[in-house]
Structure 1
Amino acid sequence: MDFWVRLLGGSQKKQAAPHDPQQRLARFRQRYNQVLQTWQKTANLANDREALAAIRQGFQALTATLNDESRSPAPHTCLQFAAAQQIYTGISKIAATSHDEGMVRDAVTFYNALIDSEEEDFLENDVFAVSLMNFVNRTVGSGSMGVGEDIEADIVELLFGIAAKIRLQPEILPVWFTTASADSNGRLVNQKVDFAGVTQKEDFPLCYQLIDHVHHEGRIGDFARTGLLYIFESASRSITLEQWIVNSDLPTLMATGLGALYSQMSRKLSILHPDQDMPLVLSLSDYAEMQSNPQAESFFGEDLHNHLVTFLSYLTFWQDVLEHCRSTDVRHTLIDHFQILFLQQLLYPSLLESSDADGGSSVAVLTYLRHILDALDHPELVHMILQYLLALQDYTATSPRTPRSPAAFKRRQSLMQLNAPEQDDDRLNPSLFNLVDLVLGSTASRNPQTVIAALKLTTVILSKNHGYALGSLVKVMYLHHKDPHRTVGSLNKELKEYMDLAIDIAGLDGVDEAYDNYLKDTLSALETHPCSLRTITLPPTSPKSPGYFDSVESAARDVDVHYLLPEDPLFQTIVDLLLRFLTNDIETNLALSEAIISLGICSQLRLEGWLSVDPADYYFESNGSEPTEIRNDISQDIGMAARLPNWSSSATPQLLACLQQLQAQVEALRKDLPDWDEHVANRKNAFRFHEEMNEAMKMSTPQPKPVRQPSDTPAGTWTPQIPKHVLESSTTPSRSQSPRGRKEALSESRGTPTASPAPSRFGGQTLIGSPSRGLSPLPSHIAKRQTTLFSDIDANLAGLKHAELFKRRIRFLRPAGSNVVEVMLSKYQPPPKDSDDTSADAKTEQERDDIREASLLHIITNVVILQDFVLELVALLQVRASLFNEVKFA
């Protein structure tokens, strides 16, 4: 009988039952009551696995019912019951006392279901806010049960969503932020505030939970930082919240948290590449002979990589907060804490205590500071750091012009008193030792790692913040006239001299292809340099009153036309390093050449004296009287400008003279060693072939399908989506393993981030071979043999290191007090060592002959790199002349 009832009519009632609001509510209440009864009957829930399983099933059933009801037509009786009976309070208590991660996860899903419904105004309910924050404090707060990272990430994501709701709906802020110290007008009454501010977690527990998680890696830190960013953005719409942040310990926690992340990174650092992950350009050299301090941590280690990524993410978060925060008092307070608690009390002391003698601390400080400056683009932070570390004018004299409120001024005074030493002699003063002293001392070091780190930092400062380097890191002389005096004839002759020099060094093979590449790279670098913006952009058509950020950035980046002083200490050190180019380690030469190019990229720096000949030193050979038939003054002026000038050897630019000495060293090797040109050509072909195989393998490798990002969440979800730039880690496209594949291709080949989210403007192009040429993907039957073929190529190239000819070591002698390096050819006897000379110990370093040696394998690789560097100088001369109108055609 039951069978016929179900068959004829009962089935329709069974299908309609789930959509009946009253029956759905009855089942929902029954499930909830069962959960409560099981919890109340269990003496020790954490140890009763059967009860835990039953309650978890109940939680999941309740959540499923709420999700189904949210998609069903009204009325939503279960949601109304949940709001009226406040069942979330019981859910949070059960989950928090269960000490079970699965239970906590189910509770988080339940809270998400309530908020996702967007009904009953759960986010506007005081009891709901208290219940949720109590649950969060018990699960991930201090002294909590300690859940796994994935569950903790889900909880922080839940908090992030609430912060995003507060940003979009400021009217719900009083539900989550309350303070008992506000007067009837909503303003905070005066409180006793020390330098750390007032800790009042009960006022805004959501904010404190986010601040507790901003230091984490991965999803936890990303969601916490973005949620806290929304809180600071909301401060501009609430006077109470604004004053509460200024008077609280929130800025102190942020600054000390940044310092804690910086302190986690190793004090001693080695930037040597591991043998198992060494680029080809380094493996075909004496790079493996370099030894690092065993106490220094490897820059390419996973632990340091993770610490550096987290620190730079938090530093970028500071930058984002200052950019999005519209509250002047909050921004001033944050800047004061950054300046005093991080910059003056931590970053500068680490610079002051660094030493080249301990084998790594100078390398660490220089490397960390390079990443800091590379990551920062906010004008206030960059201005503050460089003004202080370079010992320029006092930062307080150029601090924000907008007056501080009494509360913000009081906080700054408290910070200044905290930082004040007991005695004036103990005061840390950058005027006594600053970043300029560290860079100059490091570039002249005998430790290659220190030299590399200093040159890379110099490159970042010159390329991103050139205005701060003038007068401090680089000694210059400013000009009153801006019209060019060089002629097109002198440019043509200089281009020919540099190009002939490049061809004499390493032959004609591949020169056209590489030079075309450098023209494109140089044009891109010149167009994006901050000093070029005024030179190549059109003036504004309408007057505009600059804002605060515009004025700071303009003051920091405006650079007038200037000359490089010949006696500049940094440039003289660079010339000394360039003179030893053939025996330098490969990475030093890559960093050295990049620093020189970065110096020449500035549109306001005249090239005369160091890269080009000063027009005052031109003289022309008389070719007889001008033809009488030429009467046109314009034609005569054009002809005069096109003449090729001559100049004396004393007028040769320093860089050109140094390159000519290097060419003489190469010529001596060519005469002494058989088949020299063949060895150089083979090395260039090896690099080119290795690069082409790299490109072919990349193009034939199938691209993974894009992972669905949270931004693809279907419409109707309650959680505002985290910005895409927060979820995606910034990656810098590195150049392929060509000899000139510098920038981050060597130092960060294992994925260490650059500082800035945008790709480096010096990366992304291959240098040997045209970047625009296309290599079609390999056929499937060839692709199967790629790995084996590539391994064979690497083995054959690496086998060159074991050839007897390439093992041969060649000495280079630079007599004391001389600027000429001599090649000790095979017909000469090896010079005696200093240790055999009884008077050697009495000689100072300046009085001793500088004797260095390198293998033939190493020297040939440096010769290939040297040719590419000269070609880049030629491209720099040519592109600058056309882009900035640096020469006269008439």
Structure 2
Amino acid sequence: MDFLVRLLGGSQKKQAAPNNPQQRLARFRQRYNQVLQTWQKAQNLASDREALGNIRRGFQALTAILNDESRSPAPHMCLQFAAANQIYTAVSKIAATSHDEGMVRDAVAFYNALIDSEEEDFLENDVFAVSLMNFINRTVGSGSMGVGEDIEADIVELLFGIAAKIRLQPEILPVWFTTASSEPNGRLVNQKVDFAGVTQKEDFPLCYQLIDHVHHEGRIGDFARTGLLYIFESASKSMTLEAWIVNSDLPTLMATGLGALYSQLSRKLSVLHPPQNLPIILSLSDYNEMQSTAQAESFFGEDFQNHLVTFLSYLTFWQDVLEHCRSTDVRHTLIDHFQILFLQQLLYPSLLESSDADGGSSVAVLTYLRRILDALDHPELVNMILQYLLALQDYAATSPRAPRSPSAIKRRQSLILLNARDQEDDRLNPSLFNLVDLVLGSTNSRNAQTVGAALKLTTVILGKNHGYALGSLVKVMYVHHKEHYRTVGSLNVELESYLNLAIDIGGEDGVDEAYDSHLKDIQAILESHPCSLKAIALPDAAMKSQAYFDETESSVREVDPHYLLPEDPLSQSLVQLLLTFLTNDVETNLALTETIIGMGSCSQLRLEGWLSVDPADYQFEDMGPEPTNFSNESFRDMLMASRIPSWKSSATPQLLACLQQIQAQVEALRNDISDWDEHVSNRKSAFRFHEEMHEAMKMSTPQQKPRRAPSDTPTPAGSWTPQIPRHVMDNSATPSRSQSPRGRKEALAERTTPTASPAPSRFGGQTLVGSPSRGLSPLPAPQVSKRNATLFSDIDANFAGLKHSEFLKRRIRFRRPAGSQQIEVQLSKYQPPPKDDSEDVVSDDEEGNEKDDIREASLLHIITNVVILQEFVLELVALIQIRASLFREVRFA
């Protein structure tokens, strides 16, 4: 019985102790005194394991008491005791001299408990700030003891919390930022400043600790970048901090840090997929025959991806800083350093030194530029990069800008002098060699990887920054007067011509479903294009969206209506690539078709001449005498607009003429190869089956939704908000159409479109344009059930030793004589391929002695490209049709 009484009594004491401030303080002081005694008795704390263990347990007990007290009602006597006796100074010294990671972790937890209590104004205490920063400098600073990444992340998270408090409470900034060189009025005294700026870590050690960790991956980099972001945001609230940043070496450290991360990326790159994980569309081709350079690093390697993600994260951090920083001087100083130290001294020289002959440097530079432009949305950075690399006129120099302070002007002059070179050295002048030269040269390369990288970069520029491409990457002629509209009759003819071409190339199987999918995709692409706002906006709607900064509005390039010049070098390169479509590698064809669709997605680019017939070339047959009376005059106009025109062969659009040549190549294959149409149909069924299985697996596999960070709020479509903090995920997997030749991005397929979208048909005559609904499909549904037994009969020959597989390995030779645009398909007369075909390669042309262009591909590869080609033609049909209605390009009356 006495035992139970003592037990109950002891339990009551333990329950009452935490709620008793006096007893809690007594325990707190006791544990603190034990920590001090153990530390003072230890001769060498770093080697005394027993003392280290006792002190760690003491730190943990102190932290637990503080956390309990913070959740208890006042008075908080332990916190008062900690503040009055400045016990954090002892904790700092003990942890810094222990050289023990566990001790450092416990000390960080103790400091967190003090800060999270939000009492006794620890963050407003000069002694607390000095003590904490001394502890951090000895722990993770230069020449420090060195700790693990998890502990370092905890320390940086602690710094991030302090920066967040400074952002919300600017009055505590002088505690953490002090400069002995400032005058009473808050202005900095002039000092000797070189191009790098003044390094004064003792003035703002918190800021320098953050800048030392912004390049890290994971939590460390995220917290450091966000904390530094808050520091730059606070500069607009403090003139002293603003002037200090302008004159300090922080902008230089940021720019050189970005350059260091870029320099870690491989100089030579291979974008070939690993053979063990090929998408099906690549496995059903000659992709395995492609070889990468031994010195080139794989784009899909884990180490490379980590370096690339870190670089892109830091690049995104730059635009986040420019967005949040409201100080004009600080923002302009950062932009100057980005331009001179990164863009002009590192990025452009890497472009200049790239070569297609060394096995991957051009691929690397083109890929990095694509990822940079794809990641950036900030108008000032995009404007600076593209104007310099494309050698465009500097519109920003003539546009009004906010005035700078004398210190900011001097800082810019120092940077300009740093970048000044002898006038004789014009090697680094973009007017002599720029991004246009690199892209055009790369699209004409014989290296498929180089061609694909150039096309993907071109697609990004045309899609996101179309105004910068006009006159530089794409040669155009602007529309200076009112042009004639295409008529609905010509639209019907053109749609039927392209659709018939698609069916002749790949058959009728699955065309209806594929076209429905492309209608949705194209509508989403057109609606999201930056040039579409003016074309689809209501007449009384605002033509401009709110810009990020007033001074950058004048530098944003407006896109006016324009034509594509027939002699445009980029267009000629695209046509030449299209002519060899059947023998191109699959990734090149996917990139090529995406570039052409991207070019045609600009609402201001007229389709006449390259995709549609110019109305000036219409020829109409004599309809006989017109009826004298019309019940309504508009009926006559509708009748005239619906007439079916014809045109001379010389007026055939360039792209249509090229596709007709490819169709002739396909027809030659069909005439020579038995069961050609069945092979093509089986290949489409294989793609369709694989896509359906992939979708079914996605639907059946439960996917856990990722937890959303507190600051991760949904953003409206089309807007740009800084990523704070967030890893930059690589979502640009290649090939860009996933596992199937249909569809470019999964996100586009989720967009809804009216079910009444009209579609042309080869069976309905000249109808369907403007019809209220399609009703029953004019194309028969695919009979998949008939082919279940032979669905994968033409899967990659590597997987089976059957005679049919050997047949699909058969090599087909395509020969284009020198100086000719016609390609000859050598079929039955070319079996087997000769070992030495040099006599076939050399032309008999006596003038130039040029070589014939001879290419080979397996039948397996060619059939896959035929399926892709049909999908591309259907995309063109959808593009012409959606543009006609969305942009009102066709006259119905």
TM-score, reference length from structure 2: 0.90
* Alpha-carbon distance between aligned partners in 2 of 1:94 and 1:851, rounded to the nearest angstrom: 77
Q: Counterpart in 2 of 1:827?
A: 829
- Given that residues 350 and 365 in structure 2 are in contact (C-alpha distance below 8 angstroms), is that contact kept between their aligned partners in structure 1? yes
Gap change, CA 1:618 and 1:800, over 3 Å in 2: farther
* Alpha-carbon distance between aligned partners in 2 of 1:886 and 1:189, rounded to the nearest angstrom: 64
Q: Does 1:695 align with 2:695?
A: yes
Q: Counterpart in 2 of 1:132?
A: 132
* Alpha-carbon distance between aligned partners in 2 of 1:672 and 1:553, rounded to the nearest angstrom: 60
- Given that residues 258 and 314 in structure 1 are in contact (C-alpha distance below 8 angstroms), is that contact kept between their aligned partners in structure 2? yes
Deviation of the 1:421 alpha carbon: 1.3
Q: Counterpart in 1 of 2:563?
A: 563
Secondary structure at the aligned position of 1:477 is classed as: strand
Q: Counterpart in 2 of 1:244?
A: 244
**One-letter amino acid matched to 1:577:** L
Matches within 5 A, 1:622-661: 622-630=622-630, 632-661=632-661
**One-letter amino acid matched to 2:488:** V
Q: Counterpart in 1 of 2:662?
A: 662
* Alpha-carbon distance between aligned partners in 1 of 2:688 and 2:869, rounded to the nearest angstrom: 16
* Alpha-carbon distance between aligned partners in 2 of 1:553 and 1:843, rounded to the nearest angstrom: 57
Deviation of the 1:15 alpha carbon: 3.1
Q: Counterpart in 1 of 2:725?
A: 726
Deviation of the 1:404 alpha carbon: 1.4
* Alpha-carbon distance between aligned partners in 2 of 1:853 and 1:766, rounded to the nearest angstrom: 42
Deviation track 1:422-461 (CA, whole Å, cap 9, x = no partner) reads 4432562100000000000000001000000000000000
Question: Sequence identity, in percent?
Answer: 78
Matches within 5 A, 1:431-442: 431-442=431-442
Matches within 5 A, 1:432-581: 432-482=432-482, 485-538=485-538, 549-550=549-550, 552-553=552-553, 555-581=555-581
- Given that residues 520 and 749 in structure 2 are in contact (C-alpha distance below 8 angstroms), is that contact kept between their aligned partners in structure 1? no
Secondary structure at the aligned position of 2:175 is classed as: helix
* Alpha-carbon distance between aligned partners in 2 of 1:62 and 1:845, rounded to the nearest angstrom: 89
Q: Counterpart in 2 of 1:183?
A: 183
Deviation of the 1:732 alpha carbon: 3.5
* Alpha-carbon distance between aligned partners in 2 of 1:330 and 1:184, rounded to the nearest angstrom: 22
- Given that residues 159 and 210 in structure 2 are in contact (C-alpha distance below 8 angstroms), is that contact kept between their aligned partners in structure 1? yes
Q: Counterpart in 2 of 1:739?
A: 740
Gap change, CA 1:343 and 1:439, over 3 Å in 2: same
Q: Counterpart in 2 of 1:755?
A: none
- Given that residues 280 and 737 in structure 1 are in contact (C-alpha distance below 8 angstroms), is that contact kept between their aligned partners in structure 2? no
**One-letter amino acid matched to 1:262:** Y
Deviation of the 1:537 alpha carbon: 1.9
**One-letter amino acid matched to 2:561:** V
Secondary structure at the aligned position of 1:811 is classed as: strand
Deviation track 1:475-509 (CA, whole Å, cap 9, x = no partner) reads 00000235551101111110000000001100111
* Alpha-carbon distance between aligned partners in 2 of 1:811 and 1:542, rounded to the nearest angstrom: 57
- Given that residues 796 and 860 in structure 2 are in contact (C-alpha distance below 8 angstroms), is that contact kept between their aligned partners in structure 1? no
Gap change, CA 1:430 and 1:762, over 3 Å in 2: farther
* Alpha-carbon distance between aligned partners in 2 of 1:733 and 1:423, rounded to the nearest angstrom: 41
Gap change, CA 1:765 and 1:47, over 3 Å in 2: farther
Deviation track 1:672-692 (CA, whole Å, cap 9, x = no partner) reads 000000000000000111111
Q: Counterpart in 2 of 1:381?
A: 381
**One-letter amino acid matched to 2:507:** G
Q: Counterpart in 1 of 2:113?
A: 113
* Alpha-carbon distance between aligned partners in 2 of 1:705 and 1:351, rounded to the nearest angstrom: 41
Deviation track 1:681-738 (CA, whole Å, cap 9, x = no partner) reads 00000011111111111111122364474669xxxxxxxxx99752354463877744
**Deviates further, 420-429 or 373-382:** 420-429
Secondary structure at the aligned position of 2:68 is classed as: helix
Matches within 5 A, 1:29-178: 29-178=29-178
Deviation of the 1:847 alpha carbon: 1.8
Deviation of the 1:66 alpha carbon: 0.3
* Alpha-carbon distance between aligned partners in 2 of 1:302 and 1:101, rounded to the nearest angstrom: 29
- Given that residues 530 and 557 in structure 1 are in contact (C-alpha distance below 8 angstroms), is that contact kept between their aligned partners in structure 2? no
Q: Counterpart in 2 of 1:266?
A: 266
Q: Does 1:854 align with 2:857?
A: yes
Deviation track 1:629-683 (CA, whole Å, cap 9, x = no partner) reads 4463210110000111000111000000000011111011001000000000000
Secondary structure at the aligned position of 1:19 is classed as: coil
* Alpha-carbon distance between aligned partners in 1 of 2:162 and 2:418, rounded to the nearest angstrom: 36
Deviation track 1:164-197 (CA, whole Å, cap 9, x = no partner) reads 1100000000000000111111111111111000
Q: Counterpart in 1 of 2:809?
A: 807
* Alpha-carbon distance between aligned partners in 1 of 2:704 and 2:546, rounded to the nearest angstrom: 46
Secondary structure at the aligned position of 1:810 is classed as: strand
**One-letter amino acid matched to 2:872:** F
* Alpha-carbon distance between aligned partners in 2 of 1:277 and 1:331, rounded to the nearest angstrom: 45
* Alpha-carbon distance between aligned partners in 2 of 1:519 and 1:258, rounded to the nearest angstrom: 42
Task: Give the length in aligned residue pairs.
Answer: 844
Q: Counterpart in 1 of 2:621?
A: 621
**Deviates further, 726-735 or 160-169:** 726-735
* Alpha-carbon distance between aligned partners in 2 of 1:693 and 1:543, rounded to the nearest angstrom: 45
**One-letter amino acid matched to 2:890:** V
Deviation track 1:193-240 (CA, whole Å, cap 9, x = no partner) reads 110000000000000000000000111001100110000000000000
Gap change, CA 1:427 and 1:649, over 3 Å in 2: closer
Gap change, CA 1:52 and 1:401, over 3 Å in 2: same
**One-letter amino acid matched to 1:811:** R
- Given that residues 739 and 864 in structure 1 are in contact (C-alpha distance below 8 angstroms), is that contact kept between their aligned partners in structure 2? no
Gap change, CA 1:540 and 1:97, over 3 Å in 2: farther
CA RMSD across the alignment: 2.8
**Deviates further, 685-694 or 831-840:** 831-840
Gap change, CA 1:501 and 1:841, over 3 Å in 2: closer
Deviation of the 1:801 alpha carbon: 7.2
- Given that residues 214 and 225 in structure 2 are in contact (C-alpha distance below 8 angstroms), is that contact kept between their aligned partners in structure 1? yes
Deviation of the 1:279 alpha carbon: 0.6
Q: Counterpart in 1 of 2:206?
A: 206
**Deviates further, 311-320 or 819-828:** 819-828
* Alpha-carbon distance between aligned partners in 1 of 2:864 and 2:363, rounded to the nearest angstrom: 25
Secondary structure at the aligned position of 1:262 is classed as: helix
Q: Any gaps of 5 or more consecutive residues in structure 1?
A: 713-721, 746-759, 768-788
* Alpha-carbon distance between aligned partners in 2 of 1:541 and 1:736, rounded to the nearest angstrom: 35
Gap change, CA 1:142 and 1:794, over 3 Å in 2: farther
Q: Counterpart in 2 of 1:716?
A: none
**One-letter amino acid matched to 1:818:** S
Q: Counterpart in 2 of 1:871?
A: 874
Gap change, CA 1:237 and 1:362, over 3 Å in 2: same
Q: Counterpart in 1 of 2:760?
A: none
Matches within 5 A, 1:218-233: 218-233=218-233
Secondary structure at the aligned position of 2:384 is classed as: helix
**One-letter amino acid matched to 2:740:** P
**Deviates further, 551-560 or 248-257:** 551-560
Secondary structure at the aligned position of 1:424 is classed as: coil
* Alpha-carbon distance between aligned partners in 2 of 1:827 and 1:612, rounded to the nearest angstrom: 38
**One-letter amino acid matched to 2:100:** D
Match of 1:883 among 868, 886, 889: 886
Secondary structure at the aligned position of 1:128 is classed as: helix
* Alpha-carbon distance between aligned partners in 2 of 1:474 and 1:543, rounded to the nearest angstrom: 25
- Given that residues 883 and 889 in structure 2 are in contact (C-alpha distance below 8 angstroms), is that contact kept between their aligned partners in structure 1? yes
Deviation of the 1:396 alpha carbon: 6.2
* Alpha-carbon distance between aligned partners in 1 of 2:862 and 2:311, rounded to the nearest angstrom: 39
**One-letter amino acid matched to 2:862:** I
Gap change, CA 1:581 and 1:420, over 3 Å in 2: same
Q: Any gaps of 5 or more consecutive residues in structure 2?
A: 713-720, 754-787
- Given that residues 124 and 175 in structure 2 are in contact (C-alpha distance below 8 angstroms), is that contact kept between their aligned partners in structure 1? yes
**Deviates further, 586-595 or 843-852:** 843-852
- Given that residues 284 and 861 in structure 2 are in contact (C-alpha distance below 8 angstroms), is that contact kept between their aligned partners in structure 1? yes
Gap change, CA 1:149 and 1:696, over 3 Å in 2: same
**One-letter amino acid matched to 2:676:** W
**One-letter amino acid matched to 1:732:** N
- Given that residues 401 and 551 in structure 2 are in contact (C-alpha distance below 8 angstroms), is that contact kept between their aligned partners in structure 1? no
* Alpha-carbon distance between aligned partners in 2 of 1:846 and 1:444, rounded to the nearest angstrom: 20
* Alpha-carbon distance between aligned partners in 1 of 2:92 and 2:478, rounded to the nearest angstrom: 69
